[in-house]
Structure 1
Amino acid sequence: MQRGGGTKRQKDMRKQLRLMAPRIPFSDSEPVIEAALAGHLRHLPPSIALWQALAARVRHEHTDYDALLEDGYERDAARFFVIDDMNAVLEHWGSARRVTCDADDGV
C-alpha cells in the first residue's frame, strides 16, 4: 500500500490517523491502516475502525497481552493488566484518547 495513495476511504483513514495519533511511527501506522480497512470493519465509520485497529495494534505489538493469554489469563483479565502499558504508548504517540475498562470502550 502506497503512503498517501489509494481510495478515498484509505486517504480519509490516513488523515484521521494523523489526527488520532500524530506521532505514531510509520512501522505501526501502515499496519493500523491495513487492519482498519479489513472487511469486517468496512461497515464502520473510519474513526471507529481506526480506533479499534489502533488499540489492537498497541495491545498485540506493544504489551504482554499475548503472553498473558498464553499463560492462561482470561481475555478480560489480560486486557486489564495491559491497560496502563497501552495508554502509555497511546500517550507517546500523541493520542488524546485512552483505553478504559468500560465495556462500551469498543476495544
Structure 2
Amino acid sequence: MSQRRAAALAQALRILAPALPEKDRAAVVDRALGSRQMGAAPAPVAAWAALVAYARHGFTDYDALLAEGYGPEAARHFVEAAVAARLAAWGCRRPVAGEDR
C-alpha cells in the first residue's frame, strides 16, 4: 500500500467531502487501502466507495438492520437518508441515492 495511493485517496476525499474531519479522512483512506475491490479502482472512485461505506457502517443503523435479518438492499434503502445527511454534513454535493445498489 503505497504512500502515493494513500495521498491520492486523501486528495480525492478533500474534493469529495471538504468538511470531512481529518480522523475520518484517515479512516476512509484506510478502508479504501484495505479493500481488494477498491485496489484497482481509480483513486476518486475508490475514495467515493469507501466514503459511502464509512458513512453507512459508522453513522447509521445499517449493521443492526443486517443483524435483524434485513438483506443488504433493504438495509441500504432504510439508511439512505441518513447516509445522504452525513455526506452533506461533510460538504459532499454528490448524491448517493440508489447509485451504490
Q: Shared fold (TM-score greater than 0.5)?
A: yes
| Residue in structure 1 matched with residue 89 of structure 2 by the alignment | 92
- Runs of 5+ in structure 1 lacking a partner? 1-5
Is 1:75 the equivalent of 2:72?
yes
Query: 1:10 offset after TM fit, Å?
Result: 1.5
Q: Structure 1 residues 39 and 59, CA, compared in 2 at 3 Å: closer, same or farther? A: closer
| Residue in structure 1 matched with residue 55 of structure 2 by the alignment | 58
Q: Which runs of 4+ in 1 moved over 3 A?
A: none
1:1-107 mapped onto 2 (5 Å cutoff): 7-40=3-36, 41-101=38-98, 105-106=99-100
- The structure whose Rg is larger is 1
- Runs of 5+ in structure 2 lacking a partner? none
2:4 alignment partner AA: K
Q: Which has the higher mean CA deviation after the structures are superposed, 82-91 or 35-44?
A: 35-44
Distance 2:72 2:11 in 1: 32
Q: How many residues align?
A: 99
Query: 1:106 offset after TM fit, Å?
Result: 3.7
Query: 1:11 offset after TM fit, Å?
Result: 1.4
TM-score normalised to structure 2 length: 0.90
Pairwise CA RMSD: 1.4
